Amino acid sequence: MAEIVHVPLDGGRAYDIHIGAGLLTNVGEVVNGVARSNRAVIVSQPPIAKHYAKTVADSLVAAGFDAPDVVLFPAGERYKTHRTLEKLYGALYELRPAIDRKTLLVALGGGVVGDVVGFLAATYLRGLDYVQVPTTLLAMVDSSVGGKTGIDYRAGKNLIGAFHQPRAVFADTATLRTLPVRELQAGSAEVIKYGVIRLPRLIDDVIASSEFGTICGPRYPHAVLSGAIRRSCEIKAEVVTRDEYETTGLRAILNFGHTIGHAVEAATNYRRYKHGEAVAIGMIAAACIGEVAGVTPPQVRDDVRRAVFNAKLPSALPDDVSDDALIALLGRDKKSENGAPKFVLARALGDVVSGVAVEESAIREGLAMQRAKYTAEGVPS
Amino acid sequence: MAEIVHVPLDGGRAYDIHIGAGLLTNVGEVVNGVARSNRAVIVSQPPIAKHYAKTVADSLVAAGFDAPDVVLFPAGERYKTHRTLEKLYGALYELRPAIDRKTLLVALGGGVVGDVVGFLAATYLRGLDYVQVPTTLLAMVDSSVGGKTGIDYRAGKNLIGAFHQPRAVFADTATLRTLPVRELQAGSAEVIKYGVIRLPRLIDDVIASSEFGTICGPRYPHAVLSGAIRRSCEIKAEVVTRDEYETTGLRAILNFGHTIGHAVEAATNYRRYKHGEAVAIGMIAAACIGEVAGVTPPQVRDDVRRAVFNAKLPSALPDDVSDDALIALLGRDKKSENGAPKFVLARALGDVVSGVAVEESAIREGLAMQRAKYTAEGVPS
């Protein structure tokens, strides 16, 4: 049974997020209602395509589509580059018959697939329709919804990109069963984030889940997982609808934990941490910095830390990355203004404020607090 | 005295096109009203920057902007590539202090500059504001208005791109005085196009101009030139406002002459013809094909041909490019559907119909007519 979260954007850009176990087989049927031709191209990565491309392709064919082409690129954040993009443009260009503006792209995979294929769709032939079929928890609760697309450039995560909304999102929770545990844990960082910014109940879910291992460990009740995904998507849908292009400051709250998180990812060349792991570290950093800035009560830091710990996510900054290195990277953050980073800080669980300019001295003091209080426990090996 | 054409797009995307001699010195003042910070970066090409970058920069500084950085890339359609784009991303990335989302890009130059910088603005940090400062007739009457941005990919002109509207357009007609005559002639092809699709008077202007050489030759009355630019922009503004994303078929009329024109450019590697020259050939082709299809009266072809001839533009297909080669390239056109090209055909001067699927046999017959009737006269050496 699929649950549906509606994203009520105007200008014909509204779409539905379908959530449920086994709904990959329904993709074709639903997509039929939004596609502008019978031509679809599935873009994915080898390990994911191996598991799911046939199911999606069969579903499209059953719904009357031509047998879709499948285009693959290598897995890993380090392939989220200009070079990959150029190869994908080439792959689309080489398809016979040539694809046209009414062709639908299907982004099948995790956050990297969604971001790259979204940007491909935003820019090929000045814009193709696409649907997101996220197969990781992180992509289901966060990156597949809201139309942010892009690639990394040098040390800048998503430095090149565009806003381009999908026509539909399909979160088949059954695909999470084949997801490595570390990926599940990483995804739960974003669920914790939604708890901090809007709905503390989600943090309780994550904390309560410790008895099961992680929120989405194999023994965790499916209904709880599915509910956490739905609630996360509801928050994201509401925020995106009210501030689609991140101009009012509202959408920026979704970046709680991401300011330092992005810097940690960049400083470690996007190789050491999963995105969610870096966000976990960044949420602790945001709590510490908020505490120094007099915005965040210590209890919030404790609560975030407990959730992060229970989800088996890291809370310590990497020893081999200096504060100087992190601060230098902050000036490159997309949310910076005049080189000064902007933070999202928590006033309480469920209540954050965005766009806060923090003095460099306070950032350093916050990072020092984090380094003093949280050691390398939980850092992925 | 500047004339202003308003482009009344909704969603905060409305903007003005300023047309007049000498208005480069006013860019800063006007831009002040639309810019979201004091930071601007001028992106241009060496020969154009040499003439005009200082004037624009001084005007920005006089209006309270920081002294703008100037970023250059080589002139020529063959640099409208992914590689150039990557270098420009790198140049923006290297600027100190780092640029932020409120930084304004200034596209100073011809059509290639406008298209590339527009796409750069569309995709860097998921979207920067930009203004167009066109310095060629072609860019003034056509490419700087309407938000189409992009780069070429392999044989596909503008195959990669996005819709991203500028915040203002500044057409300083005084810059045309330093433009090579061949560029002026090429630009007049687009003026003829507006005549065919909407306002026959523009064709009369071009035809009448034969006594002066070309519509924008050195002895041509400035008021006529300025008027032709304004009227062309008015048509483009109206069409773009009614069909911004080219979904209703209306905007497609702006591509009269471009279907075969693009194929001619691609078949000659974008090196032999200026864009406007290829469009001139393409307009004759569209008239011939329209005639074969029973849509276009022979008189229209004669009128278009006369205007093209008087503007010293080519009307003959290149001898060394076969019909097979052109037809193979048509399938790659962005307006193709299921590999079948769509044509804009004239029913009368000022009245065209878009989205016409023409049988391949009729395309071949039209091309044969063009080859039989129009020889290599007027082809650029």
- In this prediction, residue B217 carries a pLDDT of 54
Of the pLDDT bands very low, low, confident and very high (cuts 50, 70, 90), residue B356 is very high
Same domain membership, residue A203 and residue A145 = no
Of the pLDDT bands very low, low, confident and very high (cuts 50, 70, 90), residue B206 is confident
Q: Taking residues B73-88, what's their average pLDDT? A: 92
Same domain membership, residue A190 and residue A168 = no
d(CA B269, CA B284): 21
d(CA A316, CA A272): 13
Of the pLDDT bands very low, low, confident and very high (cuts 50, 70, 90), residue A203 is confident
Chain A hits for B148, Cβ within 8 Å: 126
Q: Taking residues B299-310, what's their average pLDDT? A: 92
B122/A contact by beta carbon, under 8 A: yes
Same domain membership, residue A205 and residue A103 = no
Contact A100, A125 (CB under 8 A): yes
- In this prediction, residue A98 carries a pLDDT of 80
- In this prediction, residue A313 carries a pLDDT of 93
Same domain membership, residue A92 and residue A219 = no
A13 among known catalytic residues:
no
Q: Nearest-CA neighbor of A192 among A257, A252, A242, A129? A: A257
pLDDT at residue B1 greater than cutoff 80: no
Taking only the tens place, the pLDDT of each residue in A75-96 is 988 899 999 999 999 999 999 8
Same domain membership, residue B76 and residue B161 = yes
Same domain membership, residue B243 and residue B350 = yes
Taking only the tens place, the pLDDT of each residue in A231-258 is 999 999 999 999 999 889 899 999 999 9
Task: Tell me which residue in A97, A126, A153 faces B163 most closely, judged by beta carbons.
Answer: A126
The H helix count followed by the E strand count for chain B is 13, 11
Same domain membership, residue B232 and residue B159 = no
A291 among known catalytic residues:
no
Taking only the tens place, the pLDDT of each residue in B252-265 is 999 999 999 999 99
Domain-located, residue B378: no
Domain-located, residue B114: yes
For A60, A123, A132, A181, B337, the CA distances from A114, given in Å and listed in that order, are 19, 14, 6, 20, 26
Report how many domains make up chain B: 2
Q: What percentage of residues in chain B have a pLDDT greater than 70?
A: 93
Q: Taking residues B207-214, what's their average pLDDT? A: 56
pLDDT at residue B247 greater than cutoff 60: yes
Same domain membership, residue B263 and residue B122 = no
d(CA B223, CA B13): 30
Best of A103, A123, A243 to mutate (most B CBs within 10 Å, chain B): A123
Best of B125, B158, B240, B246 to mutate (most A CBs within 10 Å, chain A): B125
A36/B contact by beta carbon, under 8 A: no
A98/B contact by beta carbon, under 8 A: yes
Same domain membership, residue A154 and residue A214 = no
Same domain membership, residue B200 and residue B134 = no
pLDDT at residue A288 greater than cutoff 60: yes
Contact B125, B100 (CB under 8 A): yes
Domain-located, residue B381: no
d(CA B368, CA B327): 13
Radius of gyration (C-alpha) of chain A in whole angstroms: 20
Of the pLDDT bands very low, low, confident and very high (cuts 50, 70, 90), residue B305 is very high
pLDDT at residue B90 greater than cutoff 60: yes
Q: Which of these three, A178, A204, A225, is where a domain ends?
A: A178
Mean pLDDT of chain A: 91
Of the pLDDT bands very low, low, confident and very high (cuts 50, 70, 90), residue A68 is very high
Parallel, antiparallel or unpaired: strands A40-44 and A342-348:
unpaired
**pTM score:** 0.92
Q: Which of these three, B178, B198, B222, is where a domain ends?
A: B178
pLDDT at residue A32 greater than cutoff 80: yes
C-alpha triplet A68, A69, A72: angle, nearest 5°: 130
A32 among known catalytic residues:
no
- In this prediction, residue B366 carries a pLDDT of 98
Judge: B37–A338 Cβ closer than 8 Å, yes or no: yes
- In this prediction, residue B375 carries a pLDDT of 84
Instruction: List the domain range (segments joined by +) for residue B193.
Output: 181-373
Q: Taking residues A354-368, what's their average pLDDT? A: 95
Of the pLDDT bands very low, low, confident and very high (cuts 50, 70, 90), residue B275 is very high
Amino acid, res. B251? R
Distance from CA of A252 to the nearest CA of B (A): 13
Q: Report the residue of chain A nearest B333, measured CA to CA.
A: A100
Same domain membership, residue A162 and residue A30 = yes
CATH number, residue B283: 1.20.1090.10
- In this prediction, residue B381 carries a pLDDT of 36
Distance from CA of A154 to the nearest CA of B (A): 9
pLDDT at residue A14 greater than cutoff 70: yes
Q: Taking residues B122-142, what's their average pLDDT? A: 96
B125/A contact by beta carbon, under 8 A: yes
A26/B contact by beta carbon, under 8 A: no
A262 among known catalytic residues:
yes
Distance from CA of B372 to the nearest CA of A (A): 31
Task: Tell me which residue in A11, A126, A334 faces B334 most closely, judged by beta carbons.
Answer: A126
Amino acid, res. B250? L
Domain-located, residue A241: yes
Task: Tell me the count of A-B CB pairs closer than 8 A.
Answer: 106
Task: Tell me which residue in A89, A90, A159 faces B125 most closely, judged by beta carbons.
Answer: A159
- In this prediction, residue A210 carries a pLDDT of 52
Which residues, 6+ apart, have CB-to-CB distance to B320 below 8 Å? none
Same domain membership, residue A136 and residue A82 = yes
Is the dihedral angle over the CA atoms B197, A127, B335, B280 positive or is it negative? Answer: positive
- In this prediction, residue B376 carries a pLDDT of 67
Domain-located, residue B54: yes
